[in-house]
Structure formats: structure tokens, C-alpha cells
Structure 1
Amino acid sequence: MMHEETSTDTAVAGLRIADGRRTQVLLRQRPQGGVGEARCIAELEREVRDLQRANATLKRYVAKVLELNLEFPLPEAGFEATGIGGVAGRGNGTNAVAFSRRGAPAALRGIGAPSLKSLDRSLDRSPDRSPDRSPDRPPAEVEFRVLGPVEAVVAGRRIDLGAPKQRAVLALLVSRVGQPVSVDVLLEELWEGRPPPSAITSLHAYVANLRRVLEPDRAPRKPATVLRTRGRSYLLDNRAVDVDVQRFGERAKAGWQALDQRDPQRALREFEAGLALWRGPAYAEVADATHVAPEVVRLEELRLWVVEGRCATLIAVGAHEIAVSELAAFTQAHPLREYGCELLSVALYRAGRQADALAVLRSHQKRMAEELGIDPSPALQHLERDILHQAPSLD
């Protein structure tokens, strides 16, 4: 931690030094007297404000990097015609996509193409997975679907999960597949911290009912293999179940890997297969539960990440008009996500709609100023200049 704090302080100190040097240069160049001096002072004040904003942005960015232990470069203004996630440009018959250097995890707003290391860390927070599974594996004997209303399928048939509290028990266990969930946590969640005297008896009944429907062929008194007891806790055995969250995470990772390997067609198939698993908000019935809400937020951020990745891939394969229609709806629903705005502007420009591309950027700039009191990122400012000047890197 001492090394991380030193790294942050060093990075910020570098900008402060640059700030001071810039101030000295402007003072040395200052004309003497009158309007010229006032103009120079105004210019100096503007430059100092810009550097102060950059200082604050860098400090927040580095702090987040160190907090999450991520490995990606510091943000740089500007676009590069490098292709999404390393997808080659015209050399392999696809259109290179300009994108800002923002390799950030799903926890951050305005994300760009992620590094595979940061993606691995994000997916490592998913429910425990069996090591021999692949996106195309056959379903397990028991399958749980939580990317929408909670459902369970046993031997190919959807089963009745019972009363709301019983369904909530299962949802809590699915959110931590392979990890024990204590009886105390279950009681607290089911009765909002005020369990009645009969709560433990009711909980045992819910678990017994779930075991009966999840393992209908289990012999009496034979130990459960799906919903197990461990001390004063219960857990779903990840070796016996399949969860759609796992499949979605694997598809997302495969999509970014395909882009990294310069295969946008496969990336598009993987992203679309992952998004097809969604039937509504994750863990719909218990999304507000204290111990489930963080997982719901993580999954929604990962879903938006994949939506943006899919749209970036559409641009990479030259489907600009399709990308425009998808991104127009996306940015309307999520107006503060800068990467979505960035992609929409690029797609509009590629579709021959330069004026519309500029209008999107300026509308976003106005919204950021009015709602958050901040300027757009350097990447969006640079993109606006590139569109104005029809920069070759955008073609």
C-alpha cells in the first residue's frame, strides 16, 4: 500500500511540476502593459484551470487503478486507428475503429475495450465455476437462470420454486454458488433484520422444499448433492449446477479475446450469444436485497460493457448504420456513458453524417456541464476536433 500511495503522489506531483513550468513560461512571455497583459493573464488563468482539472482527473484515475490492482495505461487524449481491442484495420479487410485509450473495468463509467487481465478479474467475482466448462458445454442436470426472473430447470424441465421467500432463499444461494451462505444472513435478508421466533423453522422448511424439487430422485435420508449443508450454512454445489451468469461471463470474455485476436466476426457472435441470455433485470425478485444488490450492479455494468463491445464490433465490420440505430437507443437510455457517445459519434461519421456526429458530441457536452458541472473527457474533445477536420484516422 505504501508503494501504491507513492506511485499516486509521484504521478500527481509530475503534473504539478508541469503546471509550475507552464506558469513560468507564460509569465516570461507576458507582454508589458495594457490589453496585452490582461489577455496574457486570462490565458494563464485558463491554462492553470485546465492543468488543475487534469491534476484531479489523474489523481482519481490512478487511485482507482491502485485500488483495483489493474494493469492498463494512464488515459491519453485522442483516438487511434488501431481497431477495437487490437482488431486490424484495412489490412485484413475490416474497417479499423478509432477508440480512446481507456482500458477500464466494468466498475468505471465510460469504459473502452478492456484488457484481458482486467476482464479476468471482473469475471473472477462471478459465482464459482467448474474448471472444465466451456461456453458450448451441455447444460448441467440442474440449471439456474437469474439474468431476469429467477428460474430453475431440472432434467430439462422448469420447476416451481414455491413461495416468494423460498424463491428468495434460492436466489441468495445462487448469487454465491460454491460459497456457503450462513443461516444468519438468510434470516436477516428474508425478514429484513427482524426475524420472528418461527423464522428458523420456516427457513428449514424452505430448504427442504427446494431440495425436494432440485433432486426429485434422491432417496430418503440420502445426503443432498445440490443444496448442501455446511455447519450453520447452506451452499449450492457448483459441480452439480449450471448458472446463466457463468455462461454470460464466458461469452463476454470470449468476445473480447476474439477482438484481441483480430477476429471481429467471432467476437460479434460471442457478444450476441451472451446478450441473448438476458430476460430482464438480473435477480429480478430480490435485486434490492442487501447481499444480492452488489452482484446485480456488477452484472448490469458487465452487460452494458458487452453492449458497447458489440456496437464497437459492428463498426469494426463496417455495419455503421446498424451501429447507429443500436447506439442511438443505448445513449438515450444511458446518456452519461461517454464510451457509448464516443462510439455513436464515430458510427455517424462513418455513415456520412458528420453534422449529426458533431451534434451528438455537443449535446453530450451540454448535458455533462448542466447535470454534473464537468467538461467532457479529453478523448471526446479530441474526437470533436478530428470530426471537424475530417481526420484520416476516422476513415
Structure 2
Amino acid sequence: MHIHVLGPVSVATDGKLHGIQANKVRAMLATLALDAGRAVAHGDLADELWAGQPLGNTRNALQAHATRLRKVLDGHRLDAHRPCRRGGTVLRAVRGGYLLDVPPGSVDGDRFLDLATRGAAALPVAPERAIELLQAALELWRGPALLDAGDGLRCRGAAALFDERRLTVREDLIRARLAVGDAARAVAELRRLVAQHPLRERFCELLMLGLYRTGRQAEALELFHVTRRRLDEELGVRPGIVLQRRHTEILSQDPALSLSTATAAT
């Protein structure tokens, strides 16, 4: 069994996705999945599910949703005839809270972060391997993180962090492509990313590098000026040091820009 949070919250067994209809049950699963293997206190769960709304009996309300969630989880386990690691059910009541008792890697969010970390570590020394790891990380996504997990602060905060990490992974993947000399593909991907995130200077800087390496120096310089105007008009700021340095290097045709190394793409 796998639990998906990188998109709509769902449970997957044997390659088949199973959605969860009840909003509170779905939010409870998402909250517990973010801390899989660790207990989440009753109070924290209540805050996430009801956002501070007064309840007559919080424990009873949580227990009712936990019962429904337990039926969903245990009903979709491939190994339902076998006990889980520390008991007969995936969702366990513990002192003061609940715990999602699943093996490491059962939650796609955890697998994504692991692949992203390993890919970033491989980038300076083995960019080809970094590409494999980072692509695998991005392939886990099926939509915006925790898309239907509700409006609780934990899930919304986690969604924002996942989405930001996803952008960083896409950035690392492009750096890896530049490092192995695949500038043409990097430019194609960067054009889409710059269109989607025009104020993200890192994407602009990498696109400038890719354009330069594919023989389009004038286009790279024009991109800098467009980005500088946009930053000024929309944020009232100047380009950062990294972006300014890349502009200077391209303007002077710095020989280091032609190196197909990860360090030249940083």
C-alpha cells in the first residue's frame, strides 16, 4: 500500500488509486501521512480538521473519523492477512493521539524528498545519475501537493514546502542537463518555467546560460533586460548578484561559460 499526497490524497494498491470521499477522513490521512511513523496528538489533529471550531467532544469526533479511515486503509492493504509492523492495523491509537504505522517510503512525499536530496548530492559529481534521480522524483507528482487535503495549517504549510521543493528539483534537473551538455533540452524546459515563474531569478539565469551555450548571446542579454524591468516594475527591486554576474559573464563572453560542467551552471 502506498499513500499519495503529491496531488489528490489517495491510497494505492497494486497500481490502482483509491480516492477518499469524506473530506475530514481525507484530511486526517494527509495529516498523519506527513508524519508517518510518528504520533500526532489529538489536539493537533483537531486543529487541522476543524481549524479551531468548537466541538462538543473532540475525542469522540476524532475516533469516529479514525474508524472510517481505518476501514479505508485496512481494506486496501495487499497484505491484509498479515499484521503490520506493530499491530493488526495501519492506523493505531496511541497515548494522546494517532499514528500511521506504515513502512518507510510508503508515502510518496517522503520518497520525493529522498530522491530530491540524493539527486542534489549527485549533481556535482555524477550529473547523469542526478538526472535519473531527479526525473524519478518529479514523476511522483500527479498535481499540486495535498490538493484536496483541506485548509488546515499543517497541510497548507506542507503543500507550500513541497511545491517549492518541486521547483528546486526542476532547477537541479536543468543544471544537470547543462552539466552533461544537453543545453537545447534545458532551454526548452526553461522557456516554460520562465513563462510560469517570470520573477524567479534562478530560472532566468539558467535560461541565459542555456541560450548562450546554444549560440544565442543577444537573446540571453535581452532576457536579462526584460527580467530587470519586470523586477523593477512588479517588486521594486534590482536583479540579484548571481543574475547580474551571469549578465556580465555573457557580455564579456567569459570562457568558463562554455564548460559543460556542473560548476559552470551554478
**TM-score normalized by structure 2?**
0.86
1-structure distance, mates of 2:105, 2:68: 17
Q: Could you list the per-position Cα deviations for residues 283-322 of structure 1 after superposition, in whole angstroms to 9, with x for gaps in the alignment?
A: 1112632122221121111111110011111111222121
Query: Partner amino acid for 1:320?
Result: A
Cα distance, 1:188–1:378 mapped onto 2, change above 3 Å: closer
Aligned residues of 2:30 and 2:149 also touching (Cα < 8 A): yes
Code of the aligned partner of 2:236: G
When residues 391 and 345 of structure 1 are mapped into structure 2, their CA distance, relative to the original with a 3 A threshold, is same
Aligned pairs for 1:141-152 (under 5 A) are: 142-152=1-11
Q: For the residues of structure 1 that align with 2:250 and 2:235, how far apart are their CA atoms? A: 25
Map 1:207-286; keep pairs closer than 5 Å. 207-216=66-75, 217=80, 223-239=87-103, 242-261=106-125, 263-286=126-149
**C-alpha displacement at 1:160, in angstroms?**
4.7
| 1:297 corresponds to | 160
Q: Relative to 1, partners in 2 of residues 1:177 and 1:357: Cα closer, same or farther, differing over 3 Å? A: same
| Equivalent pair of 1:287/1:296 in contact (CA under 8 Å) | no
- The one of 28, 52, 56 equivalent to 1:197 is 56
Compared with structure 1, are the counterparts of its residues 285 and 160 closer, same or farther at alpha carbon in structure 2 (3 Å cutoff)?
Answer: closer
Rounded to whole Å, the distance in 2 between the matches of 1:253 and 1:160 is 29
Structure-2 change in CA distance of 1:166 and 1:361 (3 Å): same
Q: How does 1:94-133 map to 2 (within 5 A)?
A: none
Change (3 A) 1:344 1:288: farther
Q: 1:229·1:235 contact (CA, 8 Å) conserved in 2? A: yes
Whole-angstrom distance in 2 between the partners of 1:158 and 1:365:
45
* Structure-1 separation of matches of 2:252 and 2:124: 30
Distance 2:215 2:251 in 1: 13
Give SS of 1:193's match. coil
Equivalence for 1:314 = 177
Aligned residues with identical type, % of pairs: 39
Distance 2:93 2:46 in 1: 16
Aligned residues: 251
Unmatched 5+ stretches in structure 1: 1-141
Structure 2 unaligned residues grouped into runs of 5+: 259-266
Distance change in 2, residues 1:240/1:337 (3 Å) = closer
Other-structure match for 1:182: 41
> Which residue is equivalent to 2:224?
361
**For residues 186 and 366 of structure 1, what CA distance do their matches in structure 2 show?**
46
Counterpart-to-counterpart distance in 1, 2:162 and 2:43: 25
Aligned-residue offset at 1:327: 0.5
What's 1:379 paired with?
Answer: 242
Aligned to 1:172: 31
Separation (CA, whole Å) in 2 of partners of 1:228 and 1:195? 25
Which residue in 2 is equivalent to 1:323?
186
Contact 2:204–2:223, Cα closer than 8 Å, also in 1: yes
**8 Å contact kept, 1:255–1:271:** yes
Provide the alpha-carbon RMSD of the alignment: 2.2
Conserved in 2, the CA contact under 8 Å of 1:348 and 1:354?
yes
Residues 4 and 107, structure 2, Cα contact 8 Å, conserved in 1: yes
> What is the deviation of 1:239?
3.2
Structure 2 CA distance for aligned equivalents of residues 347 and 243 of structure 1: 35
Once residues 288 and 189 of structure 1 are traced to their aligned partners in structure 2, the CA distance between those partners, rounded to angstroms, is 8
Q: Distance in 2 between matches of 1:309 and 1:344?
A: 13
* Structure 1 residues 209 and 179, CA gap change in structure 2 (3 angstroms): same
Assess if the C-alpha contact under 8 Å between 1:187 and 1:195 holds in 2.
Answer: no
